[in-house]
A and B are shown apart, each in its own frame.
Chain A
Amino acid sequence: MDKITPIRFLKLLGIYAKIDLAWLIRDTKYAIAAITADMISNMSAVSAVFLIAIRFDGIGGMSSDEVLFMMAYSTLVTGLFIIFGNNNNIHVSRIIGRGQLEHMFIQPLPLHVQLMASGFGPFTGCGNFLVGMGLLVVSIQRLSIQVTPSWVLTLFLYLLATMTIIVARSYLVSTMAFYSPVAAEEISSVAIEGTWMLSTFPLSGMPRAIQLSLITILPEGLMAWFPAMALLGRPPLLGAYYPLIFAMLLAAVAAFAFKKGMKYYVTKGSNRYLPYGFRR
């Protein structure tokens, strides 16, 4: 097993970046079509909410520019998700459900390192991130936000917390695929894509019970609304540090459940492949 140092990890990311660049160069037409599809898909979701905000001159006490800022944050999250999740490494129930985890066992690298590095696609995956950065700059100018180093650090921490929540929740529900690979193969898609629309809702002005349930049971409020409000200087409900604490707790629970599922998996194996190679 290779020793993993920060330099070694960066080199691994470099390998995947090279593979991604090779795709872009060798199959440019398809790669550009994929980038465009990602951008159109995200812009459709965020523009719907933004158009409502313009038509109604804001939503629940948030001005249309504040909604734009929230949509910028949401687009940045989508961008990061695509940059780091290009290879089903975040939709991990597909890897587990399809019996592909074994492919990773034979690599001379720890499983978690492979999963962290294998989805890196900075060239074909950067479209939404760049759009998000553009929207962020426009909304910051329109809202006259004072951008200080501490504000940028806070933005970085919230993005990290949001990404942690997305990954942790996906891994948590994906543990079902260890026990029932066929039925739960797409469970991570339900957890990620199924709730994406909900994450673009500005929750300001909604009843407290709805807000609370959407930052605890189904944490869609932590995907864009809560961090955006906190970055605008009005952290809602449980205080500015809440997303960071929630992310850490969820990650701990997901790690525990995933390890338990792995134990079951290495004992029982996967029933997805027939001896002559076809998938059931």
Chain B
Amino acid sequence: MYRYYYTAKLSAIEKTNGGTIYLLPDILIKAFTLIPLVYLWRVVMSSGVEVGMTMSQMISYTYVSSLLSEMLVVKTAATGWLSEGTLLKLYGRPLSVLGQLSALTVGRWMPMLLLFSLPMTLLAPVFGISLIPSSVWFFPSLLLCISLGFAVDCFFACLSIKLRNMTWLIDRIRMAIIALFSGTVIPIRLLPFGLDQIMRFQPFAALGGSPLSIFVGTADVRSTILLQLAWNIVLWPLALLAFKKSQEGMVSYGG
């Protein structure tokens, strides 16, 4: 376990190699996006349309979504591992490849959690935003979301192996699909034309949108967690099988 801990630590330090000052643009942009987004929802929700969510629930949803964005939509180094030559490092070490990918990803979360999420959490009362989860089941739901996020990422990694040099394309399409279907940008229950009923059972809905809905108290905890569990049980074996079959097809000329 220590080896994975040090892999994660290495990954966290690597992100700040150029000095934390170079993380500042990312932090500022995240903050500058979050504040107008909160006001955008204030404007939208003040229209008085009944959507089954109060304004304070919606604002907490948006705020937490931004604070935990990297956990709610997991993206590992496998996204660009063929073009960047990362896989050579991973296969050269006496550790499980998927274990290393997980440790590297968790490590990469740390700088932003410390430099953006923590200060913004402390600032939340200034904006009048409540960050107290309405149910303790938020935490298991978040873990299931992260677990499913790794499985989904594994599928996209296999797709990038299959399609060889289309990493960039796969990443673009993936981020677009997840942004809309996971409920991290717009809660699924707010979608018009009955889309909310169609989309609530697809696997991406068990990602970010599920823990966020439990956090603000707009989801039925039991059915949400069961759905997340079900998708984890279905997708993980398939992801591992796909990964096992894909490994032989890896071609990398990056570095």
Interface of B is mostly: helix
Q: Closest CB-CB distance, A84 to chain B, in whole Å?
A: 19
B44 interface residue (CB < 8 Å to A)? yes
The docked-state distance in angstroms from the alpha carbon of A75 to that of B129 is 33
The docked-state distance in angstroms from the alpha carbon of A55 to that of B189 is 10
A148 interface residue (CB < 8 Å to B)? no
Q: A residues within 8 A CB of B110?
A: none
The docked-state distance in angstroms from the alpha carbon of A207 to that of B18 is 37
A198: nearest chain-B partner, CB-CB? B33
A213: nearest chain-B partner, CB-CB? B32
Of the four ranges (under 10, 10 to 19, 20 to 34, 35 or more), the interface on chain A belongs to 35 or more
A102 interface residue (CB < 8 Å to B)? no
Cross-chain contact A197 with B33 (CB below 8 angstroms): yes
Cross-chain contact B49 with A55 (CB below 8 angstroms): yes
A51 CB contact (under 8 Å) in B29, B39, B175, B192: B192
Cross-chain contact B44 with A33 (CB below 8 angstroms): no
Q: A residues within 8 A CB of B37?
A: 201
Cross-chain contact B186 with A218 (CB below 8 angstroms): no
Cross-chain contact A40 with B176 (CB below 8 angstroms): yes
A231 interface residue (CB < 8 Å to B)? no
B26: nearest chain-A partner, CB-CB? A190
In residues 155-169 of chain B, which contact A (Cβ within 8 Å)?
165-166, 168-169
The docked-state distance in angstroms from the alpha carbon of A202 to that of B173 is 24
We find that the number of chain B residues with CB closer than 8 angstroms to chain A is 39
Cross-chain contact B36 with A214 (CB below 8 angstroms): yes
The docked-state distance in angstroms from the alpha carbon of A198 to that of B33 is 6
Cross-chain contact A173 with B192 (CB below 8 angstroms): no
B21: nearest chain-A partner, CB-CB? A183
A195 interface residue (CB < 8 Å to B)? yes
In residues 1-56 of chain B, which contact A (Cβ within 8 Å)?
17-19, 22, 25-26, 29, 32-33, 35-37, 39-40, 43-45, 47, 49, 51
A190: nearest chain-B partner, CB-CB? B25
A218-B32 contact, Cβ under 8 Å, with A43-B176, A194-B26 = yes
Cross-chain contact B22 with A38 (CB below 8 angstroms): no
A59-B25 contact, Cβ under 8 Å, with A30-B166, A48-B185, A203-B36 = no
Q: What are 7 pairs between A and B in contact, CB < 8 Å? A: A43-B176, A44-B175, A51-B186, A52-B186, A183-B19, A194-B25, A201-B37
Identify 11 new A-B residue pairs, CB closer than 8 A, beyond the known A40-B173, A278-B255.
A37-B168, A38-B172, A41-B172, A41-B176, A45-B179, A48-B185, A56-B44, A57-B47, A57-B49, A180-B22, A207-B39
